[in-house]
Amino acid sequence: MKQFGGAFAILLAVVFCAAGTVHAFVFTDPAGLYSTQIADSWVYQAHHSTEHLVVFYGDEDSALLYFERLGTVSYLSAWEFAHRSLELYRSPGGLEKFEMVRDLAEVEVGGEAGVSCAYTYQDGQGNQLWEYRVFLVLPGGEGFSIAFSDSRPEAADDPRQLEEILLHWRWLL
Amino acid sequence: MRSQYWSRYICAVLLLLLGAAAPCSAAGLSATFERTLGAGTAPSLVKEYGGEYILPIQERLRVEEVFARLAAQSERQDVQYTLTVLNSREANAFSLPGGFIFITRGLLNLIGSDEAQLAAVLGHEIAHVEKKHGVNAIFRQLGLSVLAEVGAFALDFLSGDLLRAAGLALTQILQAGWGREAEFEADALGQEIAARAGFDPVGAISLLEKLIQAENSEESMHIFRTHPASGERKKRLEENLAEYWPEPDLVKDFSALERLKQGRISDPGGRTDPRARYVLEGVGHPGVKLVDQQNGEQVVWAENAFVKEAAWSPDGTYLALLVDAESLGELWLFDRWGRVFRKISGLGEINGFCWSPQGDMLALEVPGSGGLRIVAAYLYAEAFVDVSGGRQAEEAVWLEEGLYFRSGADWYRTEPPQAVPVRVAEPVPVVLQRKRILTPTLVKEGNTFRLTRPELTVP
């Protein structure tokens, strides 16, 4: 009887915990490099994704989440990777009306040191978008990027959904 | 008249300078002259073609990487190559003395993501500079063909007026082209530069075919205005292509062929559809019988022909059929919808064939002067290379390790020129936006449904 009581208590705890959390699923990279937990509201986009790029659309009209593998890079650090990328984003042929919103800062993703930042720009239709991005150079020299984008400034100011994803990030190699 | 005046002027200055000239500095001075001349003409050319066009980041990095690999093959240490993309829809490319290379946005659009074709056109333009076609043409125009090299040395010391005259001559020559032989020479050297830089030399041929096709359908094609007949250029490029295939080696290690014999390499004949939709039931007359597993129906392709052999390409994109057409073996390539993609004929009777592991080439067993030979047929260009090196050859087997064939009792192995994919050392992550797609909406009107006009929606 005591055993049943214990099990009931655990069940209750699970039910109450579940009621307070967002439903999520575990996403594992098809190439087996990483896995993370992503809220159910994000939908994987097969037509937009490739072997190196994984794309999810959120429930808002422009909410976007994407992870990109860039292959072996010659950058010695995530800082170098970030600096070079931002330099090109703001150069001619880069992003229209590019502006930094949050300066480069160190961030840890699944135990790997990376660099994060946030910026805003204008897309081809003239819409202003905000994007929070993480740059990583993984052991072995592979470049990796995680981006979270939306038409609302919260994507850059307070990217809670992304923080949740980064919190559950695991490297599988 | 004007050129005669300048010719005399240049000759007079040359005579004055020749005595004092230090021979060792002539090459450097020639390069300086070329650079000055090219730099002087470049702005007007850029203006004429709608100004400079800045490519989007990812494309810019890719084009720059291709160009850097080609420029690294330059044998002229005195030239610094620069690439400018011109904002013109016209498909064209140019070079100016001194290493100034130009390509229009129109030509880049036409080439798309084909790196071998991009390397071919940029290699061709670099070759013009390597061979000094521009500066030599100017001297010819000014009547100084014999003194071209020395003239280059002397002209460095000359006034801006003379440089302007040379610039004017250069502009006129650009309209007419560097000349027939110069174009042939640039084709050959350009193909060589591209191959040395790790690009498939067949790119020059497939690009030429693409340009011919585009020229027939569009008015904005001007690249041939200054070039010799494309048929002759293609023939020469195809002849050169064989040089990039190594001489076949006598096989001493039979492990790859043994594995094939032991069945460890599955389905080398390509009878099974790699995408598992069609089941090949039989070949003969009429055509090839396939069962479409999506609907369970039997389909017949090449229904009016006698099919001797059939094989799917390794990626399942095409089905190759060896057919008896007018008592000659031809190879017909069908796409997955049963449409003829290409017919390979004109090589004599094709006795047998096999696919390359990448599915971009076929090895054909065809008659030669002294018996059978093996010819490699490119899929995306009308190009053929006799790979058997003058030997009688048969039984082609194409494995990852190379193309094997038998000559008498011996086996030989060769391989196509190896292409090295473009890899940007300092890549930059893509910046994405959500894609919008054109979708109609289904509207119910009474007992009927109507599709509305498609609208852009976010999926």
Taking phi first (over 0 means left), then psi (-120 to 50 degrees means alpha), and beta for anything else, what does residue B79 get? Answer: beta
d(CA B424, CA B69): 11
ipTM for the complex shown: 0.86
Which segment of A89-103, B7-21, B302-316 scores lowest on mean pLDDT? B7-21
For chain A, which residues lie within 8 Å of any Cβ of chain B, measuring from their own Cβ?
A: 45, 47-48, 53, 55, 57, 61-62, 64, 66, 68, 70-75, 84-85, 88-89, 91-95, 121, 123-124, 129, 131, 133, 135, 143, 145, 147, 149
User: DSSP assignment, residue B221?
Assistant: B
Contacts A–B by Cβ distance under 8 A = 66
Q: Is B453 on the interface with A (CB under 8 A)?
A: no
The answer, for B458 touching chain A at a CB cutoff of 8 Å, is yes
Say yes or no to pLDDT of B224 above 60: no
pLDDT digits (tens, 9 = 90+) for B25-58: 445 557 888 888 888 889 988 999 999 999 999 9
Residues of B in contact with A149 (CB under 8 A): 432-433
Give the pLDDT confidence score for residue A74 in this predicted structure. Answer: 96
The pLDDT of residue B18:
36
pLDDT of residue B436: 72
- Interface check for B57 against chain A (CB to CB < 8 A): the answer is yes
pLDDT tens-digit series, residues B177-191: 778 889 999 999 999
pLDDT tens profile B302-355: 988 899 999 999 999 999 999 986 667 889 999 999 999 999 988 888 989 999
Average pLDDT over residues B138-153: 58
Q: What pLDDT score does B229 carry?
A: 67
d(CA A31, CA A34): 8
Distance CA B343, CA B377 (A): 11
Q: Do B429 and A147 touch (CB under 8 A)?
A: yes
Tell me which residue in B55, B431, B434 faces A57 most closely, judged by beta carbons.
B434
Nearest alpha carbon to residue B144 among B130, B124, B162, B118? B162
- Å from B105 to nearest chain A CA? 14
Q: For B57, which of A47, A88, A129 is closest by C-beta distance?
A: A88
Which residue would you say has higher pLDDT here, B18 or B114? B114
Q: Which residue has the tokens 């090459």?
A: B27
Distance of alpha carbon A159 from alpha carbon B1, whole angstroms? 74
Whether A48 sits inside 8 A of B432 (CB atoms) is: yes
The set of residues, in sequence order, having a beta carbon less than 8 Å from that of B187 and lying 6+ positions away, is: B124, B127, B204, B233, B236, B237
Binning pLDDT at 50, 70 and 90, where does residue B458 land?
Answer: low
Of A88, A123, A135, the CB nearest to B433: A123
Nearest CA in chain A to B437: A47
Cβ distance B432 to A93 less than 8 Å, yes or no, reads no
Half-sphere exposure at residue B264, Cβ-oriented, CA atoms within 13 angstroms: 8
| C-alpha–C-alpha distance, residues B234 and B207, integer Å | 10
Check if the beta carbon of residue B66 is closer than 8 Å to that of residue B122. Answer: yes
Q: Which of A61, A68, A121 sits opposite B430 (nearest CB)?
A: A68
Pick the residue from chain B with its C-alpha nearest to A60. Answer: B458
Q: Does residue B119 surpass a pLDDT of 90?
A: yes
Lowest mean pLDDT among A35-44, A121-130, B261-270: B261-270
Which residue, among B274, B353, B357, B375, has the nearest Cα to B308 in the 3D structure?
B353
State the nearest Cα–Cα gap between B50 and chain A, in angstroms. Answer: 16
Task: Report the percent of chain A where pLDDT is more than 90.
Answer: 69
pLDDT greater than 50 at residue B11: no
Q: Determine the pLDDT at residue B266.
A: 55
Task: For B55-88, write each residue's pLDDT tens digit.
Answer: 999 999 999 999 999 999 999 988 999 999 999 9
Say if residue B286 is preceded by a cis peptide, omega within 30 of 0: yes
Contacts of A62 in chain B (CB under 8 A): 433-434, 458
Which residue type sits at B369?
S
Residues in chain A within 8 Å Cβ distance of B456:
none
Give the one of B423, B428, B459 whose C-beta lies nearest to A71's C-beta: B423
